């Protein structure tokens, strides 16, 4: 049976798009799972027109009005939290537990955080800098924001884009990934029920080349905020450059995990497993390359392999499941292809690295448990012996795969950590505060965790260095992305 998950949500109501439909397989079973309604360029233009009309009123609301509406929105989302978690898990294949404990509460917390931020935003600075005048600075919204989001955390990515934009008085048209549009629509509908006016938040559920490009190119869209792959981000930046528009890009990552030789081995090994397997490794900040110093290398590999063997891969709805399915069969095959090529190039698979249902005779520990062989499952996979310049060390795998490599000196560890084009997140593990702070200063990434890997909070900025993009999501810094400042001078 197919379920419809994508709808156009324009001017406060659901509509059927004029771009046809997309059939998606259920990632956990392989059956035909979802029908996604696709937007045409005309649908996108109607959504932008609705957002443009709504901007007039919304940009004039007071911070208190916006804040109160957003708090009511958080309450509406609480009412549908279970439905949101169930749909998020069904669309993505991620475990229902992760959706229930992380994706949904995290998104609702974001709403509350930005409801508060709306009230601290309109700071005005004033002073007399030229005799007989008074100058002020106003912080103002930009207008209609066009946002494009990926499939890995559909609800949270929608929240990260929509919330700072509307808290600052902008209106928005969001195009979620065509793989996973359902919860973004539910998120916007809850805003309408809370009293946020029609047209402030619009969702177009379409493909990148059709709906995404139409949104980026639309002349009334003043800014594009994008989360997704580095390749698509660069393409979007090219379009924005032609039109001289603002862009905010949250792109790919390849997070290093640097373990110095005085680190707490058990904590580091547990951190590596949790940090590499979160969301099936389909997390732009997931630990992907562990560099381990000196004598700690062998025991670290052994302990991570042991812990990975204890991870329960299973159907997403089972509350015992730690690791659900990957987003699609095509993506699972891509992940497996990268592991296979690494082995062909001389790397060793310590655990995992096999498709469920494959002949597992003589396989290493940590092989898949009871999962439908027709689902897009991939086991926790640990790889050693890969070359630093190889594909699996340099490129995003976006799957439950951790590569471990040795290093000797502190300088070498930091140099290896910085040796990819990406710079989104990283972690360093040591009991020595000086080593930790040196690593935090010298690793080129938008986030460096010390003796932790993966914790995020609404109050702190998230965003990349280098090829991982620029601009920040979450925190007070994200409000700067969605506002512009104006100098007003009064002559008196
Ligand atoms: P993707 O780049 O393939 O797609 C992202 C979005 O862009 C989708 O909505 C897609 O429809 C749209 N798109 C594709 N082509 C387009 C075009 N020509 N014009 C306009 N829009 C277009 O990425 P994905 O596979 O959905 O997501 C995985 C990627 O997202 C990974 O690279 C991951 O690292 C990245 N990501 C980054 C962050 C971050 O905060 N930096 C967070 C989550 C995911």
pLDDT for the residue numbered 362? 35
Q: How confident is the model at residue 465 (pLDDT cuts 50, 70, 90)?
A: very high
The answer to whether the CB of 283 is under 6 A from ligand 1 is no
> Residue 152 Cα, ligand 1 centroid: separation in angstroms?
9
Residue percentage of the chain with pLDDT more than 90: 92
Q: Give the start-end residues of each E strand in 11-57.
A: 13-15, 21-25, 32-37
Quick check: 13 pLDDT over 80? Answer: yes
pLDDT tens digit sequence for 177-236:
999 999 999 999 999 999 999 999 999 999 999 999 999 999 999 999 999 999 999 999
Give the pLDDT of residue 122. 66
Render pLDDT for 421-455 as a digit per residue (tens, 0 to 9).
Answer: 999 999 999 999 999 999 999 999 999 999 999 99
Q: Which residues are catalytic?
A: 250
CA-nearest residue for atom 18, ligand 1, is 209
Say how far apart CA 279 and CA 429 lie, in whole Å: 22
pLDDT of residue 33: 82
Q: What would the pLDDT profile of 376-400 be if each residue is shown by its tens digit?
A: 999 999 999 999 999 999 999 999 9
Residues 25-38, mean pLDDT to the nearest whole number: 92
Which pLDDT value is given to residue 7? 83
What residue owns the CA closest to ligand 1's atom 10? Answer: 208
Work out which ligand 1 atom sits closest to the CA atom of 239: 19
With a 6 A CB cut-off, is 148 part of the ligand 1 pocket?
yes
Integer Cα distance of 433 and 451 in angstroms:
10
pLDDT for 238 beyond 50: yes
Question: Quick check: CB of 392 below 6 Å from ligand 1?
Answer: no
In the predicted structure, residue 359 carries a pLDDT above the cut 60:
no
| Distance set, CA 257 to CA 241, 278, 431, 464 (Å) | 35, 14, 15, 16
Hey, what CATH topology would domain 255-450 get? Aldehyde Dehydrogenase; Chain A, domain 2 (3.40.309)
Q: How far is the CA of 380 from the centre of ligand 1 (A)?
A: 24
Residue percentage of the chain with pLDDT more than 70: 96
Q: How far is Cα 62 from Cα 83, in angstroms, rounded to an integer? A: 32
Which residue, judged by its Cα, is nearest atom 35 of ligand 1? 228
Q: What is the pTM of this model?
A: 0.95
Atom of ligand 1 at shortest range from CA of 176: 9
226 CA to centre of ligand 1 in angstroms? 7
pLDDT digits (tens, 9 = 90+) for 121-133: 866 678 899 999 9
**Six-digit token pair at 21?**
């439909």
The answer to whether 38 and 19 have CB atoms below 8 angstroms apart is: yes
The mean-pLDDT minimum among 30-34, 150-154, 351-355, 431-435 falls in 30-34
Give all strands of the β-sheet with 348-351 in edge-to-edge order.
348-351, 381-384, 401-407, 287-293, 255-259, 425-429, 447-450
**What is the reported pLDDT for 370?**
72
Q: Which CATH superfamily is domain 10-252+468-488 in?
A: Aldehyde Dehydrogenase; Chain A, domain 1 (3.40.605.10)
- Asked if residue 363 has pLDDT above 50, the reply is no
pLDDT at 382: 98
Q: Show me where the domains of the chain are located.
A: 10-252+468-488, 255-450
Q: What is the mean pLDDT of the chain?
A: 95
What integer pLDDT is reported at residue 368 of this predicted model?
47
Nearest Cα residue to atom 9 of ligand 1: 177
Task: Give strand pairing partners of 441.
Answer: none
Nearest CA residue ID for atom 31, ligand 1: 229
| pLDDT beyond 90 at 352 | yes
Closest approach atom of ligand 1 to CA 153: 43
pLDDT in tens, 298-345: 999 999 999 999 999 999 999 999 999 999 999 999 999 999 999 999
Which pLDDT band holds residue 364 (cuts at 50, 70, 90)?
A: very low
Is the C-beta atom of 253 inside 6 A of ligand 1? yes
Give the whole-angstrom CA distance, residue 287 versus residue 400. Answer: 10
Ligand 1 centre to CA of 274 (Å) is 23
Between 115-119, 346-350, 354-358, the lowest mean confidence (pLDDT) is in 354-358
The token duo for 304 is 């991570």
Say if ligand 1 is within 6 A of residue 471 CB: no
Note the ipTM here: 0.96
CA of 149 to the centre of ligand 1 (A): 6
Cα–ligand 1 centroid distance for 252 (angstroms): 8
DSSP class of residue 470 equals E
The mean-pLDDT minimum among 99-103, 134-138, 245-249 falls in 134-138
User: What are the angstrom distances between the C-alpha of 442 and each of 141, 172, 200, 320?
Assistant: 35, 37, 42, 40
Q: For residue 344, what are its two tokens?
A: 């062909």
Three-state SS for 185?
helix
**What's the whole-number mean pLDDT along residues 63-73?**
98
């Amino acid at each position: 049976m197919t379920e419809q998950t994508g709808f156009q949500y324009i001017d406060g109501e659901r509509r059927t798009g004029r771009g046809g439909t997309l059939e998606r397989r259920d990632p956990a079973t392989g059956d035909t799972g979802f029908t996604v309604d696709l937007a045409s360029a005309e649908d996108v233009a109607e959504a932008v027109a609705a957002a443009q009309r709504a901007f007039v009123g919304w940009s004039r609301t007071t911070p208190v009005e916006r804040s109160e509406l957003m708090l009511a929105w958080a309450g509406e989302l609480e009412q549908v939290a279970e439905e949101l978690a169930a749909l998020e898990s069904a669309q993505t294949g991620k475990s229902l537990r992760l959706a229930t404990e992380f994706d949904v509460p995290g998104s609702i917390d974001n709403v509350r955080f930005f409801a508060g931020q709306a009230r601290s935003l309109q700071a005005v600075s004033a002073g007399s800098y030229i005799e007989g005048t008074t100058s002020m600075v106003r912080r103002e919204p930009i207008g209609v924001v066009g946002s494009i989001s990926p499939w890995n955390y559909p609800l949270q990515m929608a929240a990260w884009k929509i919330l700072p934009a509307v808290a600052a008085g902008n209106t928005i048209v969001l195009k979620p990934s065509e793989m996973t549009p359902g919860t973004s629509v539910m998120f916007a509908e809850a805003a309408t029920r809370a009293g946020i006016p029609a047209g402030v938040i619009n969702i177009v559920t379409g493909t990148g080349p059709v709906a995404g490009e139409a949104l980026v190119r639309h002349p009334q869209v003043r800014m594009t905020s994008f989360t997704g792959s580095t390749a698509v981000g660069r393409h979007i930046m090219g379009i924005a450059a032609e039109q001289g528009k603002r862009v905010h890009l949250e792109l790919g990552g390849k997070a290093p995990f640097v373990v110095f030789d005085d680190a707490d081995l058990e904590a580091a090994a547990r951190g590596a497993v949790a940090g590499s397997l979160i969301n099936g490794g389909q997390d732009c900040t997931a630990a992907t390359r562990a560099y381990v110093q000196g004598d700690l290398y062998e025991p670290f590999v052994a302990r991570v392999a042991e812990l990975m063997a204890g991870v329960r891969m299973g159907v997403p709805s089972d509350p015992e499941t730690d690791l659900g399915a990957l987003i699609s069969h095509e993506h699972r095959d891509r992940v497996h292809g990268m592991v296979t090529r690494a082995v062909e190039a001389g790397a060793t698979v310590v655990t995992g690295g096999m498709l469920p249902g494959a002949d597992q005779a003589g396989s290493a520990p940590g092989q898949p448990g009871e999962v439908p062989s027709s689902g897009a499952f991939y086991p926790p996979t640990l790889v050693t012996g890969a070359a630093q310049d190889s594909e699996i060390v340099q490129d995003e795998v976006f799957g439950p795969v951790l590569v471990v490599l040795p290093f000797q000196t502190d300088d070498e560890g930091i140099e290896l950590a910085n040796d990819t084009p990406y710079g989104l997140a990283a972690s360093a593990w040591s009991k020595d505060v000086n080593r930790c702070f040196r690593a935090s200063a010298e690793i080129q990434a938008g986030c460096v965790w010390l003796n932790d890997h993966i914790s995020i909070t609404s109050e702190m900025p998230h965003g990349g260095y280098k090829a991982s993009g620029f601009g920040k999501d979450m925190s007070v810094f994200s409000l700067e992305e969605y506002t512009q400042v104006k100098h007003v001078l009064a002559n008196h």
